[in-house]
Structure 1
Amino acid sequence: MTSASRRTLPDIVTVGQYLAHRLLEVGGPHVFGLPGDFNLTLLDEMLTVEGVEWVGNTNELNAAYAADAYARTSRGVAALVTTYGVGELSAINGIAGSFAEDVPVVQITGMPTSAARTAGALSHHTLVDGDYDHFVRAYREVTVASAVLRPADASRDIDRVLRAALDESKPVYLGIPMDVAAAPVSSAPLRHPLRPSPSDAVALADFATALTDVLAGQERVTVLAGPRIHRRRAEHLLERIADHPGVRVATQASAKSMLPETHPASLGIYLGQMTPSETTRRAIDEAPVVILAGTVLSDVLTGFYSQGFDLHAGVELGILQARVGQVTFHDVRLEDSLRIVDEVVSGLDLGPVPVTEETWPFRAPLPARVAGSALTQRELWTTVQEWLPVDTIAIADAGTAMYGALELQMPRGTDLLASPIWSSIGYTLPATLGTSLASERRSVLFIGDGAAQLTAQELATILHRGLAPIVVLINNDGYTIERVIQSPAAVYQGITRWNWSALPAALAPGVPVLTSQVTTVEELRAALEAASAATDRLVLIEAHLDPNDAPPLLAALGRLAGGAAESE
């Protein structure tokens, strides 16, 4: 919200209008969700605020996924509105994913009236036991702040909850009874913009001293960067650190290309024993001190805990605290601790790290096989690497798509969006709606047929809104990621077959779409070239692959996962 718009606000607004103004200030104009009888008053009030744009989804889970990707791409707080009970429970899986992946999404639930809640009326969408807080309690498990609003303190609670999302990069919950949505409140607080809480100055200074001591005498500085840097909009600080001589930076899979992979300091991705490059693995595992910047040391991101560095001996920068060795400095924000790293490293006497063909972690793409041969995973990703445009948003669903995309070297200005921590298959198709609305860069989605079946109906929203992503659908007859892990021939690994080429016309009759089916490298190359030219429409490329063919990283995951299961 601009200062001019604050000055023109009426003295009194409704709760719904107040919330809409705050969302415009801390996020973007788009609000995702579905209508339901308990949120209609709220929606009517929110949509009276100029600039708010409603994005109706096909179900609440898809709305949560779309909001998550919107927040990641727009770098603000995203919002979705659901109705009580049936709607908010449908969305809770997506909100849990946002919690796991540190994404600030506000789940807004339209609730029955305050009188009904007080009386314990046996209403529809409830568990008919008179308790209206079952789902409020459920959401406390996957949010960092929540409130059920009352007119007397609605604006205060809205500000408190939204500030928690800003501070912690986590989802939050607002329950708004029907009568409260239209209740009048003062607009005066809107004259004061919401800001994240600052770092503690004393703790920050103490951290700077400790960091200086631990890095003194080091010949080089090694950083493992994680997704929380992206959540705090601090990539520019990471690149500033990488610009110093003597610095090398690897990223976790969920932060791939956060530092441009063409940067001389880039080591590519680190995944413990699954790391594609031995150069990268040794650089991290053998470093005397590793700065863990915004990392998440989960099973998949560490190659099932196969990291070789000493976690407790290094430096760890979290969203709200920093640690040097065994000492933790609380209330130190990640963006501030990164700034301190930049300042300390700039004062070190480090020589440049030589980068040669032997130490550069990226392999040249393998050549495709002879003309006319059947498409394989290797050739799929080699061809994608040759084609992938600059300045796009690549999106890869959990499964073969993600593990294939992780071995790509991203071109300039191209990011990879994935969700390897929560790994809820189907997330990325609605996520493509979110990225397409949040950014002018074209989205390129890689998704398996099994994952796409979970959320395919959101293609309708993408098509009807005139958005034009490229969708590469990997058709391998089911759940190849599960086949790699265990029981590849089991009946549950297969799925029903769909006519994917016919699906867009069924979902959006009359909307122009470019579809193709490919089985060879030549066909894939031609389809991708045609996709680049068709900038005014959605492109769906269905690539047929063998059900048991897997990218190398996925095969490595299967071996490690199998070993982990046997050791338990």
Structure 2
Amino acid sequence: MRTTTIGEFILDRLKAIGINEIIGVPGDFNLSFLEQIDAAEDIRFVGTCNELNAAYAADGYARQRGVGALLTTYGVGELSAINGIAGSRSEHVPVVSLAGAPPLYATEHGWQLHHTLADGDYTNMLDAISQFTALAIRVTPMNVVEEIDRALHTCLREKRPVHIQIPSDITHLTIEVPEHDFDTSLASSDKERLAAAADAVLAKLSTATDPILMVDQDTDRHKFTDLFRVIVEKAQLPYTQLASGKAILDERNPLFIGTYNGAASAPGVQERVEASDLVFTTNPRFIEVNSGSFTHTLREENKINFGDQHISIAGEYFVGINTLELLEELAERIPAATKKVEDPKPKLPAQRVRKDAELKHERLWRQILNFIREDDVVVAEAGTSNIGLSPWPMPAGVQYINSTIWGSIGFTLPAVMGSQLANPDRRHLLFIGDGSFQLTVQELSTILREDLKPIIFLLNNRGYTIERYILGMEQEYNDIQDWDYGALPKVFKRDTTMKSYSARTEGQLAEILEELSTADHGAFVELHLDPFDAPQGLKAFGPLTADFDFGPRGPRNES
């Protein structure tokens, strides 16, 4: 055993799991811990403008690095972050949420303090946050070693956020901690169950006539992607994806058959998937937006599902399995295909720029697609941006970040900040509508302060376009104030290197994209669009959502 302080022990554990930035907001109950962060090596604090944005940024960091860290203060801070924490829970993103708490003696004696309800109850905040985390705890000098390790193991294993309250008077106390390093590896499989599962998968595959892999979020979250990529290429296994699993595997590979979305699937995809006699899945979660309003049909007897710690084959469960070990064995043992699938899909035809044509959604996204290149991080805001980009196949290696399930608008601006903090060497492209941007705009200042260099495409259509198409096409409640967006980088940082651009025509956008193709600075590109223009998918989505939300007697847009 060795001796260290509680704060230093927590920081050592965070560094051990790959965290080099803790994102958050100072508050009096976390200042003692912040002093220790400032004194530590290889880890630092990155302050944001508010706790909600910090939670979004920690989520973006985790999507790039594998885990993120958030720091808030008791009550007012941690509750302000709860929407972002809930989003990480919904989207299966591992985030370690830390909150400075009142002194331990005050907590134990029920003192009535600021940032509380002044009722002496110190369970209510943990109770609230526990609904949206895999674990919510308060540490003490007596339990901190066991509880921190339990929380981090839970976060990494379950791919869910955890929340840890740290009393303000304990961080500088000394404790004894283990000499050995923190072990981030998952437990090994039961050998017999592993062998039995592998045999069962290969037996089913050997008799299947049209096996298909279905990719969703958990393919990425549980680090299955690389092994599935090996299996797909070796066996020449066709694959599809849910909208919530976009671009996890290469969308331009000839083995990719298109996105499955129930009755709203790409042409021919629903029929192909639902007729398959063997579908490999990775814990798909079907909600109305990725299932064609629940028109999906996957027969249990034809399904092999890879969970994080189990596998089910036609309804039979194999537990006690580290699925990564199972996939490694399958990658080794799966028979190699005798011939390679040739690409049956026609190449995308070139789109000639109409120099003076106004920007319109029916042509905008095809023009943008030419600008996206391999290994980019593409961050698409829920709504217009995601719907506009979704139909287009991303280049190989693109990481596509959005919030398909939680869908909290404003998420992506702080998320791109967190993602680029975690990996500043990858080019980041953000596509965000003006309504979403206004919700979390303050974090543009943190992006500039940290000298990050994303290319931000701001869709200025003067309102909530997705809401317009659901209801209230011309109603004032869907309008927003039209800002001078291009001026904002210099408002937030007078000497910023980020450059602002504005495009109203295809020709103007083409010139901007040409300049940015070799730029080494951040960019803010305002795209001026008609308030009533939208991608074709959004025009269909709006009325369907109105039917679903309002029932047969509810209001509708006038046709």
The alignment's TM-score, normalised by the length of structure 2, stands at 0.94
Q: Which residue of 1 aligns with 2:4?
A: 13
Q: Which residue of 1 aligns with 2:50?
A: 59
> Residues 222 and 559 from structure 1, CA distance in 2 versus in 1: closer, same or farther, beyond 3 angstroms?
farther
Q: Which residue of 2 aligns with 1:140?
A: 130
Describe the SS at the equivalent of 1:80. strand
Bigger Cα displacement from structure 2, 442-451 vs 510-519: 510-519
Q: Which residue of 2 aligns with 1:461?
A: 446
Q: Which residue of 2 aligns with 1:316?
A: 305
2:372 matched to 1:395?
no
User: Aligned partners of 2:152 and 2:529: how far apart in 1?
Assistant: 45
2:249 matched to 1:259?
yes
User: Aligned partners of 2:340 and 2:474: how far apart in 1?
Assistant: 48
CA apart distance, 1:40:
0.5
User: Aligned partners of 1:64 and 1:146: how far apart in 2?
Assistant: 16
Out of 14, 18, 21, the residue aligned to residue 23 of structure 1 is: 14
Out of 375, 378, 383, the residue aligned to residue 359 of structure 2 is: 375
Describe the SS at the equivalent of 1:130. coil
Which string of whole-angstrom CA distances, capped at 9 and with x for unpartnered residues, describes residues 272-325 of structure 1?
2222x3143332222122111242222212222122332564111122322111
After superposition, residues 87-126 of structure 1 pair within 5 angstroms as 87-126=77-116
Q: Which residue of 1 aligns with 2:533?
A: 549
Q: Which residue of 2 aligns with 1:281?
A: 270
Q: What is the one-letter code of the residue matched to 2:335?
A: G
User: Aligned partners of 1:343 and 1:409: how far apart in 2?
Assistant: 29
- How many residue pairs get aligned? The number is 551
Describe the SS at the equivalent of 1:224. strand
User: Aligned partners of 2:324 and 2:288: how far apart in 1?
Assistant: 26
CA apart distance, 1:510:
1.6
> Residues 191 and 34 from structure 1, CA distance in 2 versus in 1: closer, same or farther, beyond 3 angstroms?
same
2:50 matched to 1:50?
no
User: Aligned partners of 1:547 and 1:190: how far apart in 2?
Assistant: 59
> Residues 209 and 469 from structure 1, CA distance in 2 versus in 1: closer, same or farther, beyond 3 angstroms?
same
2:461 matched to 1:471?
no
User: Aligned partners of 1:565 and 1:337: how far apart in 2?
Assistant: 42
Which string of whole-angstrom CA distances, capped at 9 and with x for unpartnered residues, describes residues 363-402 of structure 1?
7257357431111012210111122122211110001101
> Residues 395 and 289 from structure 1, CA distance in 2 versus in 1: closer, same or farther, beyond 3 angstroms?
same
CA apart distance, 1:87:
0.5
- Note if contact 2:2-2:179 (Cα within 8 Å) is conserved in structure 1: no
Question: Post-superposition, which runs of at least 4 consecutive aligned residues in structure 1 deviate over 6 A?
Answer: none
2:237 matched to 1:247?
yes
User: Aligned partners of 1:559 and 1:37: how far apart in 2?
Assistant: 49
Matched-pair identity in %: 34
After superposition, residues 344-383 of structure 1 pair within 5 angstroms as 346-347=334-335, 352=339, 354-357=341-344, 360=345, 364=348, 367=351, 370-383=354-367
User: Aligned partners of 2:193 and 2:430: how far apart in 1?
Assistant: 43
> Residues 327 and 565 from structure 1, CA distance in 2 versus in 1: closer, same or farther, beyond 3 angstroms?
same
User: Aligned partners of 1:371 and 1:426: how far apart in 2?
Assistant: 32
User: Aligned partners of 1:482 and 1:274: how far apart in 2?
Assistant: 20
> Residues 516 and 193 from structure 1, CA distance in 2 versus in 1: closer, same or farther, beyond 3 angstroms?
same
CA apart distance, 1:459:
0.4
CA apart distance, 1:403:
0.9
> Residues 253 and 365 from structure 1, CA distance in 2 versus in 1: closer, same or farther, beyond 3 angstroms?
farther
Q: Which residue of 2 aligns with 1:201?
A: 191
- Note if contact 1:368-1:521 (Cα within 8 Å) is conserved in structure 2: no
- Note if contact 1:224-1:252 (Cα within 8 Å) is conserved in structure 2: yes
Q: Which residue of 2 aligns with 1:486?
A: 471
> Residues 215 and 391 from structure 1, CA distance in 2 versus in 1: closer, same or farther, beyond 3 angstroms?
closer
Which string of whole-angstrom CA distances, capped at 9 and with x for unpartnered residues, describes residues 331-370 of structure 1?
33442343354356x238x66575453xx3x772573574
Bigger Cα displacement from structure 2, 82-91 vs 179-188: 179-188
Describe the SS at the equivalent of 2:513. helix
Describe the SS at the equivalent of 1:81. strand
Q: What is the one-letter code of the residue matched to 2:37?
A: M
2:94 matched to 1:72?
no
User: Aligned partners of 1:478 and 1:363: how far apart in 2?
Assistant: 35
Q: CA RMSD in A?
A: 2.1
- Note if contact 2:4-2:177 (Cα within 8 Å) is conserved in structure 1: yes
User: Aligned partners of 1:199 and 1:224: how far apart in 2?
Assistant: 24
User: Aligned partners of 2:300 and 2:118: how far apart in 1?
Assistant: 50
Q: Which residue of 1 aligns with 2:514?
A: 529
> Residues 240 and 125 from structure 1, CA distance in 2 versus in 1: closer, same or farther, beyond 3 angstroms?
same
User: Aligned partners of 1:365 and 1:252: how far apart in 2?
Assistant: 25
CA apart distance, 1:134:
0.8
Q: What is the one-letter code of the residue matched to 1:90?
A: S
- Note if contact 1:32-1:63 (Cα within 8 Å) is conserved in structure 2: yes
- Note if contact 2:288-2:294 (Cα within 8 Å) is conserved in structure 1: yes
Out of 29, 33, 36, the residue aligned to residue 24 of structure 2 is: 33
- Note if contact 1:159-1:194 (Cα within 8 Å) is conserved in structure 2: no
- Note if contact 2:51-2:72 (Cα within 8 Å) is conserved in structure 1: yes
CA apart distance, 1:109:
0.6
Q: Which residue of 1 aligns with 2:76?
A: 86
- Note if contact 2:255-2:343 (Cα within 8 Å) is conserved in structure 1: no
Q: What is the one-letter code of the residue matched to 1:472?
A: F
The alignment's TM-score, normalised by the length of structure 1, stands at 0.92
CA apart distance, 1:112:
0.3
User: Aligned partners of 1:263 and 1:179: how far apart in 2?
Assistant: 56
Q: Which residue of 2 aligns with 1:165?
A: 155
User: Aligned partners of 1:323 and 1:196: how far apart in 2?
Assistant: 19
CA apart distance, 1:120:
1.1
> Residues 557 and 145 from structure 1, CA distance in 2 versus in 1: closer, same or farther, beyond 3 angstroms?
same
> Residues 192 and 387 from structure 1, CA distance in 2 versus in 1: closer, same or farther, beyond 3 angstroms?
closer
> Residues 49 and 389 from structure 1, CA distance in 2 versus in 1: closer, same or farther, beyond 3 angstroms?
same
User: Aligned partners of 1:202 and 1:525: how far apart in 2?
Assistant: 59
Q: What is the one-letter code of the residue matched to 1:347?
A: P
Q: What is the one-letter code of the residue matched to 2:238?
A: R
User: Aligned partners of 2:247 and 2:301: how far apart in 1?
Assistant: 26
